[in-house]
Structure formats: C-alpha cells, structure tokens
C-alpha cells in the first residue's frame, strides 16, 4: 500500500498551513487517519508508550455491535412487507432485496447529511472531525420507520448534529444523545410520518391485505386501557387474519414484527449487548439497571393494576417497543450518560422505570424509552454531581484537623 | 500495626526485554551529569561551579535560590566539562568528566550506636551539607522536602511495579546495614511512623524483612501497587495541610552511607532493558551516568528511543545523554514514527491494550510480552469514554473529575477531589490507557503547580 501513502503524502502539503486548501486540513486529516494510523510519537516526558486503543476503535466496536440489528432490520423490513401484502411465502432473496432497497437509502442519507454537516463545521471552526458520528449515522436509520421520507432523515440528522452536538462544542460536550434528538425532532416536527401506521413498508404498487392494520404491540397495549381486554389475549388474537402469532412472546423476542428498522429484535440487541460488554465498550451497569428498572416497575404496576395495560406481565415490557435497542445502544452512550460508576446505576434504573411509566400512563406517546433517555440525559450531570459530592465528603471525613 | 492491603485495580504492562539478573562490570562512562530537571519545583538554580572547576564526589555544585539550604552535590569526582543550557538559559545539565578513581569529600562519620544520640538538628544539617537531602520528596506536590517542616510520616516503597523495573533484591544486595542506618536517621525526622511497604506477591528480601524501627506493610496487586502515592492513600492519606515525605530505598542507603562512612556515595546498580537491547542486564555505575557506554554495540537497531527511567514516567534522553537523579533504569524502546495501514482496526496479537476492544483474547496469554513502540496510536480527542480511569487507579479518587477540575482551574474542586494525594506517576496508567490521548501527567503537574503557587 506504499503508493497510497505516497499519494497522501504528495497532497498533504496543500492542506497544511500556507497550502491552497489549508482550510480543509481536518477533512484531509480525517481521511488520512482513517486509512493510516498516524506516525505521531509520544512526548519526551510522561508516558512513552501508549495503549493500542483509540477513539476510532472504540466507535467502530459500537458499529460492529449494531451490525446484527442492521442485518436483521433489512430482512425484517422485507419480511413485514411481504406479510402485509399477503405473500408470506416470498423467497429469502426477494425479502432481502426489498429490505435493502428500503433501508440502504436511509443509511446513505443519514451518513451523507451527518458527515456533510460535520465536515462543514470542522472547516468553519477548524477542529478535527470526531469519530462519534460514525455511530450516530448508523443509529439514526435504525430508529426510523422503514417508510420515512428521505428528506426527513436528512433534515433530522442535520438538526441533531447542529443543535444537539455542535452547538455544545462537538463530540464529548453534548448533553443529549444525538441520534435520539434526531428522532425526537421528527416526532415533534412531523408526527404523522413517525407515528401511526408507518411501521410496515408496503410500497406504492401493492395494497395491504384485508385485516392488516400495522399497529405495534405498544399501541395494542395502550388500547386495552380503554377496551378493558387482557393485553396478552389481545396480542395473541392480533394478526390472526394475516399473520398468526405475530405478537406471541417468542416472536416478539426474535423480532419478526413491525417497528423501527433496527429495534424489533430483542435477540439481536442481546447479541449487540454481549459484544459491547465483552469488549468493555458499553457499560453493563447501565444495561442491567435499565432492564432491572423496567422489569421492577412492570412488576410494581402489576401489583397496583387498575387497568389491563398495567396488568400486562412485566417481562412483555422487555421485548416490545424499543426498550432493548435503547438500553443497549442509546442509554450506554458514554458522553450523555452518567459518568460516575455509582451514577450509572441510578441513571439506568431511572430510565427503565420512566420508560414503563411513560408507556403505561402517557396516552399521547406509546413508546417511552426515547423520552426516558433524553430526560435522564438532562439529569445525568445532576446525578454525577451528587456522586462527586459524596466522594468529596468521604475524603473530608478522613481529615484529622 | 503492620497492614496487608490487597489492591485489585491496576494494570501490569508486560514489556519485552527484561534485564537478566546479572551485574556486568564495564568500563565506567566518561561523563556524569547532574540534572536539575530531575526535581520538580527547582525555581532558580544557582551554580556554585563553573566549567573547568574540579570537584570531588559530594562537592556542592548548585542550589536553589528559593531553598538555599538544600545543596546539590557532584555524584563523582572530576572536572566540570560542560554546563548545558536550554531556552532562556535554562540550566539543563552540569556535566562532569569523571576521574578514574573517585575521590570523596569527607563528612563526619558515626558508629551505629552514635546515630541514636544525634539530634534532629544535627542530622538535618549533615544531610543538607552531605548532598543526600534531595532524595527526600515531599507530598503534596512531589518536590524536594523542605527542611524546616516536620512530616507526619515517611514512606518508602520497597518494590517497583513499573514496566521493566529493576529487581530491588539484586540492586540493593548487601546494603542492609546502610539501609538500617538510613531508617534510624529518618526515624528522627518525623514524630510519626516510617513505613516500609513491601510486595506481598513476591518473597520479601532480607534487607526489608528484618528491618527494625519501621512499620512494615504488605501490598499485593498489579501496578501501581508499588507507587508510594497509592500506598500513602491506603495507610495514612494526605489531607489539606498535611506533609508526608517519601524516599526510595537507594536514598535511604545513601543517607546510611553518609553517616556511617562519611562520604557521599552515588554508586548504584542500574538496569538497561527494553525490546531493542541485545543483552538487557544490570551495570554498576553512579547516579547521572552517561548512557553511551551501555548502549554502544548493544542495540538491535538504530531507530530507538532512550528513556531515562521507565516507559510510563520516564524522559527521553539523547544517545549521549545522561540518566536522571532518581533513575536506576534505562529503557530502550523502538521509535514508532511510522504509518500503519488501518492500524486502528487491523486485528493483531502484537499490540497491547488494557481494553478488551483491542485485546479481546489477551487474557488467555497473561504472560505474553509485548515490544511496544512510541507511537501514540491515535489522535487527541475530547473526553468521551467514562469509567475507565477508575479501573487503573486504586484510590478513592475520581480521576476524570479531578482532571477536569484542573483544566477548569477550579481550586476548590482540585482540593476536594484529591490533588494533594497524587503526583504524575499515580495517574500515568490513565495516560497510557486513555483513548482520547490526553497528556494526563502534564495536566496533573499543571494542577499541582496551580495549587502550590496560588
């Protein structure tokens, strides 16, 4: 690969100080360092050797952990499409093709819009391009419905990068999770494209078969507050006309149901979680505590149940909606989560509990994890503040004077 | 009241090129240097000699105008051949061309039983005049101890857990009586205890095992268990207003020799180690030795970095440079100034990482040795990863918050988060593992200076 290095070295002077493309140095640098680990050496004093791990590797590990969700999402988009138009016997190739046609453009738009914004800011503000967007750019498509208009994806991505990240000073400084901000933006700005019957891509040429409604398990659960029927029975009865057993517990665990592209499969999220935990990139404390919080709150509501949604078995909360996805990929974002180890427990528990509370008691919004995480993002510094104060107090107690 | 403390947090960096346990006699290096940069906080070094002067081992060559009682003396006898200065005439090194046989300044001699009768004042005066005082390092700040202060206790770490650290049993062999005398002297300087902390994971050498007049504590665990700062934290933590002194065993022995033999003896055994050294082994020499003789013809390749001290806290020196005052190790590392295609993602078993995202299966080979080069392996970034510094800092300290307090120059937070308890070496591992590639030790020193001069 010598020629590649030589080519890069040849154009490098143009980007350096005094060169004709001086302003675009960091764009050059981003590409150079992506291809080649740079030749920088340690300072003359201090640590002379460094750990092999860098930010790129850290972020890339998160992307690798998301790949199972992405691949399954591509398959599931196609699969739901064929279910909805009454051709469940469609071949694997056809299913994947539909999925690819629908998902890849969203992925491309998300990366293009986001990286474009990042590059623009790096040129204007002369700061290096952070690797954080590599993860965000993948997260955004995974939490979008397959039917989302591409211009909305672009708009939401740009909004999130500018308002949620760059306005605060870039990666590492942001208060809110960037990908969730993109989704929240669409939820509030274009509600009709991101809620309601949008979770299954049907396609312009086809018509859904009779009986298909495209509701998600959470909306079915929310309906039981009014109609007084058991959630489990409603879920079982659902889809009997066009996709029997679609909302059985096991099916929801595997993820063959309508929903955002990457978030339907609890199993895939579990694989991602294992990757993140084994590599030490994602905090297991946050993941465990979110699950514990949601399950605990589910049990508590079971105990107090005054309506059928409250009485839904607590473990159903873990497989419906985006809880698993949010837990594994969103709540563990190190920048916006609590940064102290004790704080991570509190932060996770609160997210889990709030998610279930929002789901069950908020009639306007069936999914809770997005709001719960954004809400706790705002509170994370406060949690940390008290953990740090506790540390300071402990230190003061030792003082003899 | 001896204690046993087991530490779980930390990380042992297993570098290739450990020094073989043999002491090799070589012709002594021609030059030796005294480097004020070995000490923090020497503000205005004032020379007492000029080029061409001849000195004996123990002749004062400089002092700090801000702390003029502490004399810095020549490690060997010979002629001052060069006074090296850097930018703004900053004094870098006083280079001495050594005599073939070392001559010593004569100081007062005492017998072992005499020592008990000496007053604190007497002791301090002889230590200051005899050049051994700079061995005493004061916490907080990690600067040369102030003779007018009385520390609440004195700490000696009797083992070194840094990468490629020399074996204390070997380099201090046969020095028991001097070590004991040094301890007896130190005991007079503090109303509190003299703590000697040994490694619980290895056999304790006789020098430390049979020592009297001390509190002998055992520490077990990975690096930084051997760091005296970590030991202080667990035995007698430093709060605002406290002063604790630390000294390494070499310094204790040097004090013992000054009182028992009446001479400033800078002879020491150093290790020359690292993956680029043909035969890593030990050499007998003096403090501040030129490294030239130890590396000539002893290297596997030319493109290397010489580090006076260890790979975590040492300083780069030139091929004809000299070792620092406290250093008994010369580390030779491959220089890492090369590009590597997809170096950040390529799967490999040759790179060491504390984090499993790189070394996922490294736990299967706990004894594997790594030849690490000096490449930074990444670019500087904002703080992103959390909870990782805590895993290598076996103290009740939140390093990220402390570092942010320093960067924000928030004095109250620095104090309450524990700046008094650390010096650079205590957070060196954080700097090693940091994915954002901050210069953490520089930040720590910045904080210490801010607090000290505020």
- The per-residue DSSP string of A39-81 comes to --B--SBS-SS--S--HHHHHHHHHHHHHHHHHHHHHHHHHHH
| Nearest CB to A54 within list B416, B437, B442 | B437
> Kindly report the CA angle at A258 between A254 and A259, in degrees rounded to 5?
90
Higher-confidence position of B18 and A11: B18
Mark yes or no for CB contact A41/B335 under 8 Å: yes
A7 and chain B in contact, CB less than 8 A: no
d(CA A206, CA A270): 34
d(CA A84, CA A86): 5
d(CA B448, CA B287): 27
> What residues 130-149 of chain A have any CB closer than 8 A to a CB of chain B?
130-132
Question: Which residues share a beta bridge with B67?
Answer: B64
Per CB-CB distance under 8 Å, the chain A contacts of B313 are 46-47
Q: What is the predicted pLDDT for the residue at A244?
A: 81
Mark yes or no for CB contact A48/B305 under 8 Å: yes
Residues in contact with B221: Cβ distance below 8 Å, sequence separation at least 6, in sequence order: B6, B7, B8, B9, B10, B201, B394
Residue of B153, B312, B339, B356 best to disrupt the A interface, most CBs of A under 10 A: B339
ipTM of the complex as predicted: 0.91
Dihedral over Cα of B433, B435, B439, B443: its sign: negative
Mark yes or no for CB contact B339/A53 under 8 Å: no
Q: Which phi and psi angles does B345 have, rounded to 5°?
A: -125, -20
Residues in contact with A6: Cβ distance below 8 Å, sequence separation at least 6, in sequence order: none
Q: What is the predicted pLDDT for the residue at B356?
A: 85
**Long-range CB contacts (< 8 A, 24+ apart) of A16-23?**
A23/A123, A23/A126
Q: Which phi and psi angles does A151 have, rounded to 5°?
A: -65, -30
How is residue B206 written in tokens?
């006789």
Per CB-CB distance under 8 Å, the chain B contacts of A398 are 237, 239
A193 and chain B in contact, CB less than 8 A: no
Question: Which residues share a beta bridge with A109?
Answer: none
Residue B278 CA, chain-centre distance (Å), reads 25
Q: What is the predicted pLDDT for the residue at B209?
A: 82
Q: Which helix (H) or strand (E) holds B95?
A: strand B91-98
Mark yes or no for CB contact A392/B416 under 8 Å: yes
CB-based contact B163:B13 (threshold 8 Å):
yes
How is residue B251 written in tokens?
């310094």
For range B406-419, the mean pLDDT: 94
Per CB-CB distance under 8 Å, the chain A contacts of B430 are none
Residues in chain A: 401
Residue B166 CA, chain-centre distance (Å), reads 12
Mark yes or no for CB contact B387/A341 under 8 Å: yes
- Average pLDDT taken over every residue of chain B: 92
Nearest CA in chain B to A30: B379
Q: What is the predicted pLDDT for the residue at A225?
A: 86
Q: What is the predicted pLDDT for the residue at B26?
A: 85
Residue of A1, A5, A39, A53 best to disrupt the B interface, most CBs of B under 10 A: A53
CB-based contact B305:B316 (threshold 8 Å):
yes
Q: What is the predicted pLDDT for the residue at A26?
A: 87
CB-based contact B268:B184 (threshold 8 Å):
no
For tokens 């005049």, name the residue: B129
Higher-confidence position of B96 and B344: B96
List, for chain A, all residue ranges whose pLDDT scores fall below the cut of 70: 205-206, 399-401
d(CA B208, CA A367): 65
| Nearest CB to A280 within list B356, B397, B432 | B356
How is residue B219 written in tokens?
């520490």
Range list of H helices, A85-166: 92-125, 132-142, 150-159
Mark yes or no for CB contact A130/B431 under 8 Å: no
Residues in chain B: 454
d(CA B306, CA A48): 10
The string of DSSP codes covering B135-184 is G-EEETTTEEPPTT---SEEEEE----STTPPPHHHHTTT-HHHHHHHHH
User: In a 3-state reduction of DSSP, which class is residue B328?
Assistant: coil
Q: Which phi and psi angles does A192 have, rounded to 5°?
A: -70, -25
pLDDT over 70, % of chain B: 100
In order of A131, B82, B250, B268, the CA distances from B253 in angstroms are 52, 29, 5, 10
Residue of B35, B92, B243, B384 best to disrupt the A interface, most CBs of A under 10 A: B384
| Nearest CB to A341 within list B315, B390, B431 | B390
Q: Sort B47 into a burial class: Cβ within 10 Å, 0-12 / 13-18 / 19+.
A: middle
Nearest CA in chain B to A45: B315
| Nearest CB to B356 within list A1, A39, A279 | A279
Per CB-CB distance under 8 Å, the chain B contacts of A61 are 357
How is residue B336 written in tokens?
């890492």
**Interface A-B: count of C-beta contacts within 8 A:** 218
Mark yes or no for CB contact A58/B341 under 8 Å: no
């Amino acid at each position: 690969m010598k020629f590649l290095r030589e080519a890069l070295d040849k154009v490098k002077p143009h980007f350096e100080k005094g060169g004709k493309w001086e302003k675009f140095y960091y764009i050059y640098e981003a590409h150079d360092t992506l291809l080649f680990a740079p030749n920088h050496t340690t300072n003359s004093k201090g640590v002379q050797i460094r750990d092999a791990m860098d930010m790129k590797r850290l972020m890339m590990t998160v992307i690798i952990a998301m790949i199972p969700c992405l691949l399954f999402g591509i398959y599931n988009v196609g699969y739901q499409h064929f279910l909805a138009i009454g051709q469940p016997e469609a071949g694997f190739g056809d299913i994947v093709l539909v999925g690819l046609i629908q998902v890849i453009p969203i992925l491309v738009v998300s990366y293009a819009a986001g990286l474009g914004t990042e590059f623009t800011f790096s040129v204007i503000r002369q700061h290096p391009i952070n690797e954080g967007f590599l993860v965000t750019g993948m997260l955004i498509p995974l939490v979008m419905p397959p039917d989302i208009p591409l211009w909305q994806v672009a708009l939401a991505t740009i909004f999130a990068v500018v308002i949620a990240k760059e306005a605060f000073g870039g990666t590492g400084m942001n208060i809110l999770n960037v990908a969730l901000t993109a989704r929240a933006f669409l939820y509030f700005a274009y509600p009709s494209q991101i809620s309601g019957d949008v979770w299954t891509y049907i396609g312009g040429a086809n018509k859904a078969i009779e009986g298909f409604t495209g509701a998600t398990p959470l909306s079915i659960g929310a309906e039981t507050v009014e109609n007084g029927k058991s959630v489990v029975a409603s879920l079982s009865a659902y889809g009997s006309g066009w996709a029997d057993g679609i909302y059985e517990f096991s099916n929801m665990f595997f993820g063959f149901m309508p929903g955002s592209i990457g978030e339907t499969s609890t199993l895939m999220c579990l694989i991602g979680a294992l990757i993140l935990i084994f590599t030490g990139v994602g905090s297991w404390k946050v993941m465990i505590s979110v699950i514990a919080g949601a399950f605990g709150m589910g049990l508590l509501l079971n105990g107090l149940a005054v309506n059928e949604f409250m009485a839904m078995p607590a473990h159903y909360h873990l497989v419906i909606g985006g809880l698993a996805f949010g837990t594994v990929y969103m709540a563990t974002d190190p920048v916006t989560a609590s940064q102290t180890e004790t704080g991570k427990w509190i932060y996770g528990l609160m997210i889990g509990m709030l998610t279930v509370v929002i789901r069950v008691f908020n009639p306007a919004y069936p999914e809770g994890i997005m709001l719960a995480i954004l809400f706790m993002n705002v509170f994370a510094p406060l949690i940390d503040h008290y953990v740090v104060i506790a540390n300071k107090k402990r230190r003061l107690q030792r003082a003899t004077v | 009241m001896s204690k046993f403390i087991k530490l779980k947090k930390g990380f042992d960096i297993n570098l290739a090129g450990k020094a073989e346990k043999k002491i090799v006699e070589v012709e002594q290096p021609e030059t030796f240097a005294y480097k004020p940069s070995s000490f923090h906080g020497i503000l205005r070094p004032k020379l007492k000699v000029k080029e061409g002067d001849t000195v004996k081992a123990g002749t004062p060559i400089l002092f700090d105008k801000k702390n003029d009682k502490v004399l810095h003396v020549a490690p060997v006898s010979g002629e001052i051949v060069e006074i090296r200065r850097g930018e703004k005439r900053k004094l870098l090194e006083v280079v001495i061309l050594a005599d073939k046989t070392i001559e010593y300044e004569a100081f007062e001699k005492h017998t072992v039983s005499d020592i008990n009768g000496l007053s604190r004042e007497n002791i301090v005066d002889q230590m200051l005049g005899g050049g051994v005082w700079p061995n005493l390092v004061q916490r907080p700040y990690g600067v040369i101890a102030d003779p007018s202060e009385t520390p609440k206790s004195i700490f000696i770490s009797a083992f070194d857990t840094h990468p490629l650290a020399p074996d204390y049993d070997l380099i201090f062999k046969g020095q028991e009586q001097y070590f004991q005398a040094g301890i007896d002297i130190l005991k007079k300087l503090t109303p509190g205890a003299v703590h000697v902390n040994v490694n619980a994971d290895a056999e304790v050498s006789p020098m430390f095992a049979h020592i009297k007049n001390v509190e002998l504590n055992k520490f077990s665990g990975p690096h930084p268990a051997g760091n005296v700062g970590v030991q202080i934290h667990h035995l007698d933590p430093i709060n605002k207003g406290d002063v604790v002194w630390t000294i390494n065993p070499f310094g204790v022995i040097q004090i013992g020799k000054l009182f028992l033999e009446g001479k400033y003896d800078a002879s020491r055994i150093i290790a020359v180690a690292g993956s680029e050294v043909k035969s890593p082994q030990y050499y007998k020499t003096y403090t501040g030795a030129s490294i030239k003789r130890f590396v000539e013809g002893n290297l596997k390749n030319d493109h290397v970095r010489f580090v006076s001290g260890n790979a975590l806290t040492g300083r780069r020196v030139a091929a004809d440079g000299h070792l620092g005052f406290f250093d008994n190790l010369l580390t030779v590392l491959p220089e890492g100034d090369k590009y590597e295609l997809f170096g950040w993602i390529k799967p490999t078993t040759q790179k060491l990482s504390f984090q499993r995202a790189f070394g996922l299966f490294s736990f299967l080979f706990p004894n594997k040795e790594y030849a690490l080069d000096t490449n930074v392996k990444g670019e500087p970034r904002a703080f992103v990863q959390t909870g990782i510094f805590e895993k290598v800092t076996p103290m009740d300290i939140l390093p990220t918050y402390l570092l942010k307090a320093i960067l924000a120059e928030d004095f109250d937070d620095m104090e309450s988060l524990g700046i008094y308890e650390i010096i650079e070496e205590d957070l060196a591992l954080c700097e090693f593992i940091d994915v954002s590639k901050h210069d953490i030790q520089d930040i720590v020193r910045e904080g210490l200076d801010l607090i000290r001069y505020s």
